[in-house]
Structure 1
Amino acid sequence: MSRDKEDYKELFKASNFIPCKSPEGFPPGGDCFTFSPEFGEGYYWYYEVPGQYNIKIHDFSFCKDEVLDFEIPECLSVTWYDSISGEELNPYRSLNCNVIKSFLGGYEPYRALIHRNIPIRSIGIEYRPDFFHQILKNNFGTIYEDPKSAFKSIDETSNFPEMKKLLWEIWNYNGAKSSAALYYDGKVREALALVFERHRKINEKAKTSISPADEELLKSLGLYINDHYADRITIQSLSKIACMGTTKLKSTFKVYYGMTIADYMQKVRIDHAEHLLAFTDLPISEVAKAVGYTSSGHFAELFSSSKGLLPLAYRKAFRCK
């Protein structure tokens, strides 16, 4: 069941957001909200065509760690995260920046822990079922009977430059307010087409069919990496553990996890580093070593690329009262 604009305004009010004038740097035509000072700072910009789609821009931070727990109507969404720090709780996984994230709403409550003082900076589009079904029927026929698979395929990807570019173009739109509705409608439809065209191409190129037995081996391999992320792990050792040749392992791993083995290991290491920076007093060089990096400079570059802040800046922001 979709919400109308008044429902969302009530939701913002209940979440301690106050209506305000859009500051410089936000596009025209939407509604803007700011935090009550005791809860955080920054802005939430929102534009909606009821029953079809909405566009959301987040540029705010909380004063303290916040657990978000709310129902989301049935929808499909795509979002670029420029900055965020926290964890989704159901199922548990780290929230990352510099990635495209998709979300399937309407199936279970959304729960997440958002870390204090770290900016949530993102822009996304949320599609209602009647709208995306009609668009897909008109453009793709019966190719995608289940649109969820296309959106799942882009979740947590850092390799979708076309979508990142499109979303930033929306944020940076500075045309007349009178033409904003037409501009947003065109971009929203273009973004939907990008998701499905990308998925179609991936399916055409995918030469690896993963058997149920191989899926179990890959799942176990992921757990092994999670436990041994600080060790010197070679592709040869992983190949033996997975009972696969190196070529097959590389291709099936990328299909199953949506990223290379090296990228997966880096993600696990950086996620653990985030915890050490927040909850221990280990020097940055020791944090780097603890998660498997011999060079603190290289570790700092990777952490900044993943989390949007250098390690020391992240620690200071997290601990700021």
Structure 2
Amino acid sequence: MSRKLLNISIPVISVLLGLLAGAVIMLVSGYDPIQGYSAMLSGIFGDEYYLGETVRQITPYILAGLAVAFAFRTGLFNIGVEGQLIVGWIAAVWVGTEFDFPKVIHLPLAVLAGAAAGAFWAFIPGLLKAKYRVHEVIVTIMLNYTALHVTNYLIVNVLSDKQDKTENIAETASLRSVLFENLTDLSRMHWGIIIALICAIFMWFILEKTTTGFELKAVGFNQHASEYAGMSVKRNIILSMVISGAFAGLAGAMEGLGTFGYAAIKGGFTGVGFDGIAVALLGGNAAIGVVLAAALFGGLKNGALNMPLEAGVPNEIVDIVIALIIFFVASSYFIRWIISRLSKKGAK
């Protein structure tokens, strides 16, 4: 089996093993796995509303996955996507509520504000990594909590009058569309899916087709060799984190300008940023892989909501399935070994 085919087959096998293990857990727990998975599929593709909600769920997963994957491809571990998403969310909503412009100006400005906020939040660990060799994992994890509490403070004391949520954004800053509402029976699907797909193309292009992308990957692979070749290691580390943070900030902007239309006090993390790590892992840190993995995760998450209604199966089962898929992806060495053994036997 070729290396390329092997790399593609491992995520597919991991997903199938995760679904199979989930079916076994349902059986052991006294539920019918056929009914459970049928209800989940109905919650994804059952009608126009469910399909629209699934696409809406996929949108931030694509961007969060791209944020993690871009950093991974350049030798960095951005575990702070959740925090960057949160600050991007509140920045986009702030522009959406505080300014009064025509839509052609207001909406792009709000989207760019979300990207800029996420980029700035990622710039901090990038700078500390580049100048002082402070490990980005530690800084990004701490900044997640900083983002959560700072944004909660801003919502209560700056963006609202001691309320637990901001005003709704102006219609001129909204990603929602009458077209999508009519097509998907009033679901919350919005134009963010187009932005997410454009970002996936952008990531592929910059990493695979540009000198900047080559330098970013080279620095991630070997900093000493890159420096010897005349590349600026510090600049590329910071640039990588800034681009990664911009993707994460855009994920927050999609939630603030599209799905919800406001920012509210959060008792905990949204989870989207952390799920982005799993999306990137399953997608092999490639742009097209991230899109496909986000489609799977978004479908599983949205379809899970229908499982208790139609089959009586707790939707927590899907969380277990997702965890098992991640486990099998992480166990890719073992899967590779099994495939190679089977290939050798088949060749004899």
Pairwise TM-score range, normalised by the shorter structure: under 0.3
TM-score scaled by structure 1? 0.27
| Structure number having the greater strand percentage | 1
